Amino acid sequence: MSENLPDDVFTLDALRDFTPVGVQLGVVGWPVRHSISPPMHRAALKVLSTASPRFSDWRYDAFELQPEDLAEGVELFRKKGFRGINLTVPHKVEVLPLLDEIDPVAAKMGAVNTLFFKGSRLEGYNTDGYGLENAVKEAFGQGLTGRDIVILGAGGASRAAVAQCIHSSAKSILVANRTLDKAQAIIDSQADELGRGSAISMEEVPAAAAPGSLIINATSLGLSQNDPSPISVDELPEGCLLYDMIYNPARTPFLEAGLLRGYPIANGLGMLVHQGVRSLEIWTDEKVSAQAMRIACEQALAAR
**How high is the pLDDT of residue 193?**
65
Is residue 230's pLDDT more than 70?
yes
Mean per-residue pLDDT for 12-40? 95
Question: In the chain, pLDDT over 90 holds for what percent of residues?
Answer: 88
Mean per-residue pLDDT for 22-43? 96
User: Which of 81 and 3 is assigned the larger pLDDT?
Assistant: 81
The domains found in the chain, sorted by start residue, are: 9-126+275-302 (3.40.50.10860), 129-267 (3.40.50.720)
**Are the CB atoms for 38 and 27 separated by under 8 Å?**
yes
Closest CA to 167 of 134, 201, 212: 134
Is residue 158's pLDDT more than 90?
yes
Is residue 2's pLDDT more than 50?
no
Give the least confident one: 140-149, 187-196, 253-262.
Answer: 187-196
Distance CA 141, CA 90 (A): 32
**Are the CB atoms for 61 and 38 separated by under 8 Å?**
yes
pTM for the structure as a whole: 0.94
Mean per-residue pLDDT for 181-209? 86
**Are the CB atoms for 205 and 152 separated by under 8 Å?**
yes
**Are the CB atoms for 298 and 38 separated by under 8 Å?**
no
**How high is the pLDDT of residue 228?**
95
**Which positions are catalytic?**
92
- The confidence band for 208, taking pLDDT boundaries of 50, 70 and 90, is very high
**How high is the pLDDT of residue 190?**
79
If you average pLDDT over every residue of the chain, what do you get?
94
**How high is the pLDDT of residue 4?**
62
**How high is the pLDDT of residue 197?**
76
CA 162-152-248 angle, to 5 degrees, is: 105
**How high is the pLDDT of residue 169?**
92
**How high is the pLDDT of residue 120?**
87
**Are the CB atoms for 288 and 281 separated by under 8 Å?**
yes
Is residue 1's pLDDT more than 60?
no
Distance CA 256, CA 198 (A): 27
Mean per-residue pLDDT for 190-195? 66
State pLDDT tens for residues 50-98.
999 999 999 999 999 999 999 999 999 999 999 999 999 899 999 999 9
**Are the CB atoms for 285 and 159 separated by under 8 Å?**
no
DSSP string across the chain: --TTS-TTEE-HHHHHT----SEEEEEEESS-TT--HHHHHHHHHHHHHHH-GGGTTEEEEEEE--GGGHHHHHHHHHHTT--EEEE-TTHHHHTGGG-SEE-HHHHHHT---EEEEETTEEEEE--HHHHHHHHHHHHHSS-STT-EEEEE--SHHHHHHHHHHHHTT-SEEEEE-SSHHHHHHHHHHTHHHH-SEEEE-GGGHHHHSPTTPEEEE-SSTTSSTTPPPSS-GGGSPTT-EEEES--SSSS-HHHHHHHHHT--EE-THHHHHHHHHHHHHHHH-S---HHHHHHHHHHHHHT-
Q: Which residues pair with 117 in a beta bridge?
A: 122
Instruction: Sheet containing 172-176: give its strands across.
Output: 197-200, 172-176, 148-152, 214-217, 241-244, 265-266
- The confidence band for 8, taking pLDDT boundaries of 50, 70 and 90, is confident
State pLDDT tens for residues 113-148.
999 999 889 999 999 999 999 999 999 999 999 999
Mean per-residue pLDDT for 179-208? 86
